[in-house]
Structure 1
Amino acid sequence: MLAVRQLAYKVNDLEAAAAAHHRAFGSGPFFVLRHVALASSQHRGIEQPFDHSSAYGQWGSVMVELVVQHNAEPSALHEMFPHGSGTEGLHHAALFVDDLEASIARFEREGAPLEQLSVTAGGTAFAFVDTRASLGHMLELYEPTPQLTGFYAMIAKAAEEWDGKELIRELG
């Protein structure tokens, strides 16, 4: 079974979105990583800059990511939310997969093409496949490396121990 590990929303302002999500759902705290460092990023097979910042928090048993893209270049985020439109909403659900390449190929065979493949400076690869026709949003796929699962565990533990203070916490 491919369980949803994260829901991610395109937002215009990380801090305002985190405060609103917390008020509505009790989520948090949110850990902000500004200008996520990438080693590479390809949109539809073409190398493109993907300058984005994200805030990560816990929403019950699921991580929530709030993401802002700073640059105007094409990306999976801009496929759903064109640069400058100001629109916000659910962009993707994230899944852990055993084999990223095989999973990308599987989704492509099932009519969900690869939109973007990026690799963080730390070596974590993530892929957005276009499942808008069937799900109304994209899926993000990545392999559950110790670094990634440790990050998820850190966010979940912070939520368990949270006293409701310091909603926004900077990473990096």
Structure 2
Amino acid sequence: MIGGLPIRQVAYFVEDVRAAAIAHAATFGSGPYFVADHIPLKRSLHRGVAAPLDHSSAYGQWNDLMIEFVQQNNPGSSAFRDMFAPEGEGFHHVALIVDDLDTARAACEQAGFTNALEAEMNDGFRFLMMDAVARYGHMIELYEGAPVLTGFYDVVRQASVDFDGRDVIRAITMT
């Protein structure tokens, strides 16, 4: 089920995650932003077909909401390129933390949303991108509330407490 779940994150597809994060921090006071380059994926399916996805992301906090800026580093089809041509940018998805990924996928599919991305990180953490563009103008990212994820959300939120606008960009590594 996905009804009643709070949006935990909003994400923008951009050409340069660092520049976007710095601009958002300067305009809205969000941050700091934790930047992961070339996030490794064990598996990536675009609309059911294996498709490599090399992406980088910047994660920061803006009040109660995590902001993500994501860029695609490789050419080819993806859930990002479904919405944006090369050099295109804009609002891409909202993220929900669900109790069970497969149940949430089924609920989305029943609502008419197709699966645009199924990915698995090297540590076994899975996430989905459901295509809700025709109805809402954006994708919906789904992932389970595994400790690795909720712990990361806590780190980003805690770093935002008393953030003074300095050291906006902070490098991290995802395995």
| Aligned pairs for 1:45-84 within 5 A | 45-82=48-85, 84=86
The number of residues matched between the two structures is 170
- Structure 1 residues 22-56: Cα deviation after superposition (integer angstroms, max 9, x where no partner): 12211000000000011100001111100000000
Give the alignment's Cα RMSD to 1 decimal.
0.9
1:162 deviates by 2.2
Distance 2:28 2:88 in 1: 21
d(CA) in 2 for partners of 1:65, 1:26: 14
> How far apart are 1:163 and its partner, in Å?
2.9
Q: TM-score, normalised by structure 2?
A: 0.94
- Structure-1 residue corresponding to 2:122: 121
**Partner amino acid, structure 1, of 2:38:** H
Q: Which residue of 1 aligns with 2:25?
A: 22
Structure 1 Cα separation of the partners of residues 163 and 125 of structure 2: 28
Higher helix share: 1
**Helix, strand or coil for the counterpart of 2:123?**
coil
| TM-score between the two structures when normalised by the length of structure 1 | 0.96
Aligned 8 A contact 2:61 2:67 in 1:
yes
Match for 1:122: what amino acid? D
1:40-85 C-alpha deviation (Å, 9 max, x unpaired):
0000111110000000000110100000001112110110012x2x
Counterpart position of 2:132: 131
Give unpaired runs (5+ residues) of structure 1.
none
Question: Secondary structure of the residue that 1:164 maps to in structure 2?
Answer: coil
1:5 aligns with 2:8: yes
CA separation in 2, counterparts of 1:164 and 1:25?
A: 10
- Corresponding residue SS for 2:166: coil
Q: How far has the Cα of 1:106 moved from its partner?
A: 1.1
The residue aligned with 1:104 is 105
The 5 A counterparts of 1:133-152 are: 133-152=134-153
Paired-residue identity, %: 46
